Copies of this chain bind each other. A is one copy, B any other.
Amino acid sequence: MLTRSQVKAAQARTAEILEDAGIALSAEEREQVEVASFGLDDLETEGLQLVTYVNTDRYCAKELVLFPSQTCPEHKHPPVGHDPGKMETFRCRAGKVYLYVEGEPAKSIQALIPQRSKDYYTVSHEIVLHPGQQYTILPGILHWFQAGEEGAVISEFSSTSRDEFDIFTDPNIVRVPMMKD
């Protein structure tokens, strides 16, 4: 688990990155930035910061913030009840994103696989997103992503988000929902 002060520091850094990208948050949103370390206790390597703007039973929108070279570990969104699984569109707003999905593997990938967890990164079809570029990930497709050296901001447009049902390749991962300080 991250300490309270680690969470607060990551929240403040996230708000600053968004501000630099021209993205305004309300005071309440700044306080509620979600800091996900996936139970791995190395936020800088494997982690993700999220601001959820809206999540209804019909659609969801978030900003995803990655620190420099930070990685969101490999996972997929399974069907949940009548929902065929989350479908999501990643639109890069700032920085650079290396995104990997199922499909033809790249000969060599540009991202750096976190060594401690390297067995749990299994897909390597590479998509590189710069600001103004986007990619839609279909339900049930394994994917992971990493920021370039400058970090990244991604707007995520999607169907309903039910993070607690996400299936991670790494069995050590615990996807805790909304961590507040």
Give the interface of A toward B (CB within 8 A).
21-26, 29, 53-54, 56, 58-61, 87, 89, 91, 93-94, 130-134, 136, 155, 157-159
Contacts and interface: CB of A to CB of B under 8 A. Distances in A.
Quickly give the copy total for this chain: 2
Considering residues A58, A131, A134, which has the most beta carbons from chain B within 10 angstroms of its beta carbon?
A58
Contacts of A94: 22
Contact of A157 (B53, B93, B130, B133): B53
Nearest to A87: B58
A27 B89 CA distance: 19
A56 to B, nearest CB: 7
Contacts of A130: 24
B24 A132 contact: yes
Given A26-B132, A61-B89, 4 more contacts: A23-B93, A24-B132, A29-B132, A61-B155
A130 B155 CA distance: 19
A90 B176 CA distance: 28
A22 B95 CA distance: 12
